[in-house]
Chains A and B, each alone.
Chain A
Amino acid sequence: MDETLSIVLFSGTDDRLTSASVFAAGAAVLGRPVRILLQYWGLQAFRADRIGCAGTVSADAGEGAIAFAAARDSHQVDWAETLRQSKELGEVEIHACSQSMDVLKLQPSDLDPMVDGVEGIAGFLAAAGDGQLLFI
């Protein structure tokens, strides 16, 4: 179980970011390398001035939004912290999609230190190799 788990993190709502953080943490503690590519709203959520729970939930939540908000407010779920801990426990790399950086007009210095760098699609897919790829 040492194949890289690659995650394309496109979504920027707290619930989906939490989902991504759970996969990253699970893979990290199992000794699998994890590579995350932040696209668009996922990238936006890693802005240094916004990192952490933004108080957003995806439309899918419906009536579950209240229960999720309660879990978030009591810190039962904290995606940024879970990701930080995952990076300490295993090989977890977080890269910003270079196209998304351009579209959102972001500089690497605008991003939280958890983000390891900027990557293009070929670099990301090549590194993903034959491992599993998730889109969140």
Chain B
Amino acid sequence: MTTLEIAQRVDAKGLSCPMPIVKTAQAMKTLTSGQLLEVLATDPGSTKDFEAWARTTGNALVESGSDAGVFRFVLQKK
């Protein structure tokens, strides 16, 4: 398994909607095309929010999972 090179991490644990995707959008602005962003969140709606955001903005959702109530997303800037 290759380890992904994360350019930036966003800790959105404890933040309610819309803050996880707001912070993600803010962080994405600072990345260049192809770079990876990792986001941690606890908001229950996170998975669908990130899937919808990635699909709509064209930034790829490379990884999506959860562990003990913490969602982890890895997104690639388009």
Contact = CB atoms under 8 A, between A and B. Distances in A.
B18 A30 contact: no
Interface stretch (B3-11, B20-28, B60-68): B20-28
A31 B56 CA distance: 8
Bin the interface of chain B by size: 10 to 19
A30 B57 contact: yes
A109 interface: no
Contact of A89 (B15, B22, B56): B22
B16 interface: yes
Contacts of B71: none
Nearest to A23: B18
Interface in A59-93: 71, 76-77, 82, 85-86, 88-90
Contacts of B21: 25-26, 29
Contacts, number: 39
B70 interface: no
A10 to B, nearest CB: 21
23 contacts: A22-B17, A25-B18, A25-B21, A25-B22, A26-B17, A28-B25, A29-B18, A29-B21, A29-B22, A29-B57, A30-B57, A31-B56, A31-B57, A71-B16, A76-B15, A76-B16, A82-B19, A82-B22, A85-B22, A85-B26, A86-B22, A89-B22, A89-B25
Given A30-B56, A76-B16, A77-B16, 17 more contacts: A22-B18, A26-B17, A26-B18, A28-B25, A29-B21, A29-B25, A29-B57, A30-B53, A30-B57, A31-B57, A76-B15, A82-B18, A82-B22, A85-B26, A86-B22, A89-B25, A90-B25
* A-B complex: 4 closest residue pairs judged by Cβ atoms: A25-B18, A29-B25, A30-B56, A89-B25
Interface of A: 1, 22, 25-26, 28-31, 71, 76-77, 82, 85-86, 88-90
Interface of B: 15-19, 21-22, 24-26, 29, 52-53, 56-57
